[in-house]
Structure 1
């Protein structure tokens, strides 16, 4: 169901922008008027279909995507997703720089120091 159709079904003007509280109040009013249990048996099917349409209109108007479009007038876009890769680049440079600027040399220096100055502790290698 489209937003225009849902607004008209709940009793709002075609080009209005109702708030969630207004939508909720209009929904309660329309449900009270068109609940199938309030009608005789011969009109019950018609009331059920109207009740279902009102419920669908209510869920359409309160959905997160529709509410954002109504509030801002702009549909949701996915424009900012490509920047996440750029955030990790500085950390990649830090890691690669550590390896390139002597990350492995530190390991060699530790081994050389261990050979030159052996530990006197029998429990350490």
Structure 2
């Protein structure tokens, strides 16, 4: 390929721009729930797993504890989750949903469908895109 340093020839740029656009598409739905996109990702994990350590959340979300801890503190102040030190290892902080956090799951259940409608891509296209991105992430 000629002109490797041209922006339009970079794979990183359309992925970056799409990621930003996708996050922006979530914003109106998440604002109704008083969630930021990273907070929504935490909730997605906790709605399934019920309880996670900060380190487990960090691994799943590709976030370090310096980024995750303030985010979790804000969510705790909003009453969505609880942070508690492990009784067996005080270095570990266990995160679990409150009843209010658990109740948010029902309201959030419509978000994926709304996003699919907004994107204008078929389910097959989205599945293919997800497979390709997941494959690249596993390097």
TM-score, normalised to structure 2's length? 0.22
What is the TM-score with the length of structure 1 in the denominator? 0.23
Which is bigger in relative contact order (C-alpha 8 A, separation at least 6)? 1
Q: Which has the larger radius of gyration?
A: 1
